[in-house]
Amino acid sequence: MKQIIINHVIRLTADAVGEPGKRVFYLQVKAEGRLYSFAIEKFQIQQLGAGIARLTHEIQKKNPELEPAMSDYYSPNMLLEHPLESLFRVVEMGLGYDNETDQMLLLLQSWSGNDEEAPDDAIAVRIWASRSQMLALGAYGVHVAAQGRPICGNCLQPIDPDGHFCPQRNGHKH
Of 10, 15, 11, which is closest to residue 26 (Cα–Cα)? 15
Percentage of residues in the chain having pLDDT higher than 70: 95
**In the predicted structure, residue 42 carries a pLDDT above the cut 90:** yes
- What is the per-residue burial (b if ≥16 Cβ within 10 Å, else e) of 24-59? ebbbbbbbeeebbbbebebebbbbbbebbbebbeeb
CA distance 167 to 164: 9
Q: Containing domain of residue 131, as a range? A: 2-149
DSSP secondary structure code for residue 39 in this structure? E
Give the pLDDT confidence score for residue 31 in this predicted structure: 97
- 81 in a structural domain: yes
How many C-beta neighbours within 10 Å does residue 121 have? 10
- 40 in a structural domain: yes
- 170 in a structural domain: no
CA distance 152 to 148: 12
- 16 in a structural domain: yes
Helix spans in 107-159 (H): 131-145
pTM for the full predicted model: 0.86
Average pLDDT, the chain: 91
- 164 in a structural domain: no
Give the pLDDT confidence score for residue 115 in this predicted structure: 61
CA distance 15 to 45: 9
* CATH classification of the domain holding 46: 3.30.2450
- 89 in a structural domain: yes
Of 15, 11, 97, 107, which is closest to residue 57 (Cα–Cα)? 97
- 169 in a structural domain: no
Strands of 18-144 (E only): list them: 24-31, 34-40, 86-89, 92-98, 103-109, 123-130
Domain count along the chain:
1
- 68 in a structural domain: yes
**In the predicted structure, residue 60 carries a pLDDT above the cut 60:** yes
